Amino acid sequence: MLSGQIPEGTTLDIVALRNELGVSLTALRESLKVLAAKGMVDARQRRGTYVRPRGDWNLLDTDVLRWRFGDSGVAAPDHQALLRSLGELHRIVEPGAARLAAIRRTDTDLAAMQSALARVQNVDVLEQSAEAAQSYQGFRRALLTAARNEILERVGAVVTLGMSYGDQLSQRVLARNDAFLPHLYGVLEAVRERNPDLAERTMRAFLGEVAEAD
């Protein structure tokens, strides 16, 4: 379905699908229940189980994102469009999160952000790229937590998950650590000083420069 091989509106042949996948009818029904909960399929009398319009799917569900990228972390054919959409959402969400963090942060939040940036700065990016990327993602998560908005944090978590699969943003930042880290420290200092305008502006400038470096 995610690949488009089964078009919207298609009625599923349950028997044929069970034989193709080599699973029990019980297992198949349970799987379809999961898909139904995510808005991807539905069942009606006389029509059977069918694929719902893509506009009804919960594309921000973390399972759906993982499926779109595949178990191996290799994105589906539409991965570039998906990453572009996630990147745009990223640039919308995080400047606002930085503004709220500057207003609502605690000392614990500051310590978490500081610790994450210190780890990014101290690791060998070439030899410890996975650790460096995780540390950068840790800074983003700490910033979202400091915003004290559970909906924003949830959306931000989805963006972070998606970008961690493509890893494009993290890798661009880490490849130019010396150029980008000062901007992140600037965000941290603005949050520390409780300056929401500066925090938002600095984060927006940082993300803009990262996008241009692509």
Domain boundaries, the chain: 14-58, 63-212
Task: Please state, in angstroms and rounded to a whole number, the distance separating the CA atoms of residues 18 and 88.
Answer: 39
Task: Summarize pLDDT for 105-155 with one digit per residue, the tens.
Answer: 999 999 999 999 998 888 665 555 667 677 788 898 899 999 999 998 888
Is 39 strand, coil or helix? Answer: coil
Phi, psi for 142 (deg, rounded to 5): -65, -35
Of 111, 193, 105, 189, the C-alpha closest to 144 is 105
Of 70, 88, 94, the C-alpha closest to 168 is 88
Q: Whole-number mean pLDDT of the chain?
A: 84
| Residue 75, pLDDT score | 45
Whether residue 206 has pLDDT greater than 50: yes
C-beta atoms surrounding 142 within 10 Å: 23
Task: Please state, in angstroms and rounded to a whole number, the distance separating the CA atoms of residues 177 and 191.
Answer: 21
Class of the CATH-defined domain 14-58 = mainly alpha
* Helix 177-192 vs helix 168-175: crossing angle, to nearest 10: 100
State how far Cα 27 lies from the chain centre.
Answer: 29
Of 120, 129, 138, 112, the C-alpha closest to 178 is 120
Strand (E) or helix (H) holding 48? strand 48-51
State how far Cα 101 lies from the chain centre.
Answer: 19
Task: Summarize pLDDT for 62-108 with one digit per residue, the tens.
Answer: 888 878 876 544 445 566 777 778 778 888 899 999 999 999 999 99
- Right CATH for 63-212 from 3.40.50.170, 3.40.30.10, 3.40.47.10, 1.20.120.530: 1.20.120.530
| Residue 82, pLDDT score | 77
- The dihedral built from the CA positions of residue 205, 211, 116 and 123, taken in this order, carries a sign that is negative
Rounded mean pLDDT of 165-172? 54
Whether residue 14 has pLDDT greater than 60: yes
| Residue 16, pLDDT score | 93
| Residue 77, pLDDT score | 55
